[in-house]
Amino acid sequence: MNEQPDFLPMSLDEAKALGFKEFDIILVTGDAYVDHPSFGTALVGRMLWDAGYKVGIIPQPDWKRDTDFMKLGQPKLFFGVTSGNVDSMVNNYTPNKKKRHDDVYSPGGTGGLRPNRAAIVYTDKLHAVFPDTPIVLGGIEASLRRFAHYDHWSDSVRQSILADAPADILVFGMGEQQVVEIARRLSVGKDTNDLTDHTDLTNLTDIPGTVIKLELKKWRAMGHKGYIELPSFTEVSQDKELYARAFRLHYQNQDPVRGRPVAQQHPKTVVIQNRPAMPLSTAELDHVYELPYTRTAHPSYKKAIPALAPVKFSIVSHRGCFASCSFCALTHHQGRIVQSRSIGSMVREVERMVQMPGFKGIVQDVGGPTANMYGMTCGRWEIEGTCIDKICTYPLCKSLDTSHERQVELLRRLRGIQGVMKVFIRSGIRYDLVLADSSGYLHDLCEHHVSGQLKVAPEHVSGHVTNIMCKPSREVFDEFRSKFKEVNKELEKEQYLIPYFMSGHPGCTVEDMVELAEYIRDNDLYTEQVQDFTPTPMTASTCMYYTGINPFTMEEVHVAKRGEKKVQRALMQYRDGRNYKLVYEGLKMVGREELIGNEWQCLVRRKGRR
């Protein structure tokens, strides 16, 4: 292990204090620099440093000038570019395309410190200033825009980001293995004392978990055996059925075991995705998260970074999610195979946290994309990969080990650490998995790990909408609600479920939203947590939103846009007087006037009545 500094340097003075003048790798990010494993730049930077490379960070550069991009000089190996923890367009705009005025990843929450399409903007600037230095794209924005994709903010199909940006290679997924391997290959045979050495990029073409681009002439000459060829950018941007078919093809090849290389022609280049990187082993994942993160922002910042507060004393227990919800891009990013850390590693991490300034005895969260998937496996994953024609939870597969025993043991060990008063789970759970468990997980959860409210995400209650979302049915949610209430009664605790519901999802009609509003009314549910569906890149739901086609069945799907989306959202918050006109309009639209009036079951009062 290479000795790690307290913080990766953000200036040449900091580098000099560490005993060097030139960087091997410089990472450029749209976020402020927070040395915490929940922030991708810190995690990747620490991994590269651990592998022996001198890494500098340029956070939130002023993209209108060259100065910030030049302040650390020219790296010996490459620039790594990311827009940050969130896609820059999601970060900068609301689902209704209104400009956001704040940014939780910036000092003081100040907005406007990163450009739209930050990964492209940063790459353009670096290429102009350092034209001979390789550029590696990574992070969520690059990962989920690696093929031709529908872009909600321009309402158009855009090229792969690698076709738009002058980068040399794109890393998709979590990226640590790929970035370290890129650094290793670029350093082989290179005189690192001479920054003008010609860099040979030809040995970067076959790294799993990366995307490269080829000239059309070379692609045509090499033969295409072994590749999955998608309809071209020109075809998918003009034909929605071909767009849906292309989505299904690349979706089916996101498994690291059975996935094949995927290619898509663009007007000036061919984008080729190598198969996804293999999941990290438990030992490798432990190593990533046990690097010496300070869990604080770089000391140069005078204002707090709001995004740090809710995760500062949380720990990641695993990666991956086998649920395959239609509106989630995790299948294309972390993948469906769950990769879990060892209990011992997480115990050590919390023991270090206890000694840190500001720790008050509360572990804020223990989880991953879905908290209670920790330790779950399928016997087929290692040899065969995930099933191409089945979703693990829809319906719940019998081959899946759904025991919560490992998580029960993990939580028991964590709450027994001296100095820890509470260990909470706040990242959300899959209640269908809880119902399939017999380890007593729900009892332990309610007794020790819920802070009065438990987040769950039924998303909807209408059967055909939950089918399209690949979510459990209303009956499963009702059974869980009953069990949750029963356990808390036994424990003599007053705790509540906070359900997440979604409006405007493809397949959802105004009639479906009225059904959901009635369900909320009849069960007296709290509905502050409301999400209006946002078409983000590379989800099945976004494919449906753009094409009106379910890519897995090729059947037509209803898509709510503009005015209808507003009505759907208002129906979910029908109690809010500001939504009166839209709720009234929606009820009239679907002939449900009996829900307008003064009776208890009415969603809104009739005009002119009190």
For the residues 170-189, what does the mean pLDDT come to?
94
Domain count, the chain: 2
Domain membership of residue 411 (yes or no) is: no
Q: Which two tokens stand for residue 408?
A: 């029960």
Domain membership of residue 230 (yes or no) is: no
Q: How far apart are CA 271 and CA 264, in angstroms?
A: 5
Domain membership of residue 412 (yes or no) is: no
Q: Cα separations (Å) of 572 from 93, 456, 557, 563, 583? A: 22, 16, 21, 15, 9
Confidence of residue 191 (pLDDT cuts 50, 70, 90): low
Q: How far apart are CA 430 and CA 323, in angstroms?
A: 9
On the question of pLDDT at 610 being above 80, the answer is no
Q: How far apart are CA 556 and CA 565, in angstroms?
A: 18
pLDDT in tens, 497-555: 989 999 999 999 999 999 999 999 999 887 766 789 999 999 999 999 999 999 999 99
DSSP letter string over 207-238?
A: -TTEEEEE-HHHHHHH--TTPEEPPPHHHHTT
3-state DSSP call for residue 598? coil
Q: How far apart are CA 468 and CA 327, in angstroms?
A: 10
Q: Which two tokens stand for residue 270?
A: 């061919």
Amino acid 200: pLDDT: 67
189: left (phi over 0), alpha (psi -120 to 50) or beta: left
**Which has the minimum average pLDDT: 42-46, 187-191, 228-232?**
187-191
C-alpha 448, offset from chain centre: 28
Prior bond to 472 cis, omega within 30? no
Average pLDDT score, the chain = 94
Query: What CATH number has the domain bearing residue 471?
Result: 3.30.750.200
Amino acid 439: pLDDT: 85
Amino acid 202: pLDDT: 81
Domain membership of residue 17 (yes or no) is: yes
3-state DSSP call for residue 171? strand
Domain membership of residue 30 (yes or no) is: yes
Q: What percent of the chain has pLDDT over 70?
A: 97
Q: Which two tokens stand for residue 231?
A: 């309809």
Q: How far apart are CA 196 and CA 133, in angstroms?
A: 9
Q: Last residue of some domain: 194, 210, 226?
A: 210
Domain membership of residue 7 (yes or no) is: no
Amino acid 224: pLDDT: 81
For the residues 187-213, what does the mean pLDDT come to?
75
Smallest CA-to-CA distance from 426 within 482, 364, 470, 480 is with: 364
Q: What percent of the chain has pLDDT over 90?
A: 86
pLDDT in tens, 380-400: 999 999 998 888 887 888 889
The answer to whether the beta carbons of residues 410 and 374 sit under 8 Å apart is: yes
Q: Last residue of some domain: 210, 236, 262?
A: 210
pLDDT in tens, 139-155: 999 999 999 999 999 99
What's the farthest any 2 CA atoms get from each other in the chain?
A: 83
Q: How far apart are CA 71 and CA 49, in angstroms?
A: 20
Amino acid 41: pLDDT: 98
Q: How far apart are CA 39 and CA 428, in angstroms?
A: 19
In total, the chain counts a number of residues equal to: 610
First to last CA, the chain: 72
Q: How far apart are CA 539 and CA 226, in angstroms?
A: 25
Alpha-helical segments (H) within 253-321: 282-289
C-alpha 605, offset from chain centre: 41
**Which has the minimum average pLDDT: 24-38, 189-203, 411-425?**
189-203
On the question of pLDDT at 475 being above 70, the answer is yes
pLDDT in tens, 439-460: 899 999 999 999 888 989 999 9
Convert 205-239 to b/e letters by CB count within 10 Å (16 or more is b): eebbbbbbbbeeeebeeeeeeebbebbbbebbbee
Q: How far apart are CA 506 and CA 465, in angstroms?
A: 8
pLDDT in tens, 51-85: 999 999 999 999 999 999 999 999 999 999 999 99
Write out the residue range of the structural domain in which residue 532 sits: 452-610
Angle between helices 510-522 and 563-572 (to 10 degrees): 10
Domain membership of residue 422 (yes or no) is: no
Amino acid 327: pLDDT: 95
Q: How far apart are CA 320 and CA 478, in angstroms?
A: 27
Domain membership of residue 79 (yes or no) is: yes
The answer to whether the beta carbons of residues 595 and 587 sit under 8 Å apart is: yes
Query: What CATH number has the domain bearing residue 88?
Result: 3.40.50.280
Instruction: State the Cα angle at 487 between 482 and 490, rounded to 5°.
Output: 125
On the question of pLDDT at 196 being above 80, the answer is no
Whose structure tokens read 């794109």? 170
Amino acid 498: pLDDT: 87
Q: Last residue of some domain: 189, 210, 231?
A: 210
Q: Which two tokens stand for residue 429?
A: 């759970």
3-state DSSP call for residue 496? strand
Q: How far apart are CA 144 and CA 426, in angstroms?
A: 26
Instruction: State the Cα angle at 581 between 542 and 608, rounded to 5°.
Output: 165
